[in-house]
Amino acid sequence: MSGEAASKSGFSTQDILGFATVCLMWGSTWLVIKDQIGFLPIGWTVTARFTMAAAGMFLLARLRGEDLSLNRQSALLALAVGLLQFCGNFQFVYRAEHYVTSGLVAVMYALLMAPNALLARIFLGARMTGRFLAGTGVAVIGIALLMVQEYRNAPPSAAMDVALGVGFAIAGTLCASFANVLQASPIGRRQAVVPLIAWSMLFGAAIDAVLAIFLHGAPVLPASPRFWGGVAWLAIMGSVVTFPVYFSLIRSIGPGRAAYSNAVVPIVAMALSTFFEGYHWTALTAVGAVVTLSGVLIALSGRKG
C-alpha cells in the first residue's frame, strides 16, 4: 500500500504488517494451548508460560536499551495490566479450553472487538463510525455462524461443559478488553511498550503463582520436551514477539480496530487445525469465515478515528 493510500485508510504499512503478524502468531497458539492441558494443573501451566515470557521481555528491553525503572503510576498500571491480561485473561482461556474445543474459544475471543470498542467509547471517548459499526455487525454474524458449527460438533452429553467453557471464555474476553483499554489510555500511551509489558508479565506471573499454590499446591514440573517446547513457543513467539506488536497496534489504530485481529485469528486457527488436527470444514464454517473476513475488511477500510 502506498503512503497516500495508507493515510486515507488510516493504516500505515507498519500497521498492516503488525496486524498480519498478530493474526498469524496468535492463530498458531490455540493448538499449542490445547496441547498444554494435562501436563500440569492449569494455574502452574499459565505461571510457567509467563515466567518465561517475562524473562524474555526483560531481555528484549535490555537489548533495546530501554529504561526499566518504574514510578508509582507506571507500577500501578503494570500491576493492573498484569492482573487483567496475564492472570485473569489466560487463567480463563486455559480453563475454557479444558471444556470446549480450541476453535470455539478462539471464536469467542473474536468478539473482543465489541467490548474493546464499547469500553474505549465509555472511558476514552473514542468514536465509533458507521463503517466500524457496520463491519462489526457483519463480523459478528460470521462469528455466530462459526459458533453454531462448533456447538453442533459437541455431543449432547457435553452441553454443560460447552456452557461452562463459553462462560470462561467470556470472562477472559472481558479481562483482556479492560487491559486493552488501559493500554490505550493517556497514562498507558505515556509508557514505553516493552518495559510495561515486561513488568506486567512479571506481576501477572507472580499473581498466577500465588493462585496456583492456593488452588493446586506446589508444582511438580514435567520432564516432557513436548511440554517445554510448547511453553517456549507460547512464551517467546506468542508473547515476547507478539504482545509488543499488538499493544503498539492498540496505540496506533485504537483498541477497537486492533481487536479485529481476534476476528481473523480463529480462521487462522481453523486453517492450521485443518492440517494438524484434521478439522472438517462444512458449508457453514466456510460461509462464516468469508462473512467474518468481509466484516473485518469493511471496518478496516474506514479512516482511523
DSSP letters spanning 133-179: HHHHHHHHHHHHHHHHHHHHHS-GGGHHHHHHHHHHHHHHHHHHHHH
Residues 6+ apart with CB under 8 A from 290: 142
Higher pLDDT, 2 or 94: 94
pLDDT-derived band at 196 (thresholds 50, 70, 90) equals very high
Closest CA to 82 of 189, 163, 196: 196
Mean pLDDT of the chain: 83
In a domain, 268, yes or no: yes
CB atoms inside a 10 Å sphere around CB 83: 19
Q: From the DSSP assignment, how many helices (H) and strands (E) are in the chain?
A: 16, 0
Domain hosting residue 97, numbered range = 3-300
The percentage of the chain sitting over the pLDDT mark of 90, rounded to a whole number, equals 30
User: What are the contacts of 209-218 at 24+ separation with CB within 8 A?
Assistant: 209/47, 209/51, 211/43, 211/87, 211/91, 212/41, 212/43, 212/44, 212/46, 212/47, 215/41, 215/43, 216/41, 216/43, 216/44
Burial class (CB in 10 A: 0-12, 13-18, 19+), 118: middle
191 pLDDT exceeds 70? yes
Residue 247 in domain: yes
User: Residue 23: inside a domain, yes or no?
Assistant: yes
Give how far Cα 244 sits from Cα of 146, 208, 209, 210, 276, Å: 29, 21, 23, 26, 28
pLDDT-wise least confident of 17-26, 109-118, 229-238, 241-250: 109-118
pLDDT for res 1: 39
Count how many domains the chain has.
1
> What is the average pLDDT across 33-53?
90
**Within a domain: 118:** yes
Compare 263 and 27 and report the one with higher pLDDT.
27
Give how far the C-alpha of residue 276 lies from the chain's centroid of Cα atoms, to the nearest Å.
Answer: 21
pLDDT at 105: 79
pLDDT at 178: 93
pLDDT for 276 equals: 75
- Label residue 134 by pLDDT band (50, 70, 90): confident
pLDDT band with cut points at 50, 70 and 90 for residue 184: confident
Task: Please report which confidence band the pLDDT of residue 231 belongs to, taking 50, 70 and 90 as the band edges.
Answer: very high
Q: Is 193 among the domain residues? A: yes
In a domain, 305, yes or no: no
pLDDT, tens only, 291-302: 887 887 787 665
Is 251 inside a domain boundary? yes
- Average pLDDT (232-254) is 87
Chain segment 140-163, per-residue pLDDT in tens: 888 888 778 777 776 666 667 777
Q: Rounded mean pLDDT of 226-247?
A: 89
Q: Is the pLDDT of residue 281 over 50?
A: yes
What per-residue confidence (pLDDT) applies to 233?
Answer: 93
Residue 277 is predicted with a pLDDT of 67
Give the pLDDT band (50/70/90) at residue 54. Answer: very high
96 φ, ψ (degrees, to nearest 5): -60, -45
pLDDT at 228: 92
Residue 156: predicted pLDDT: 66
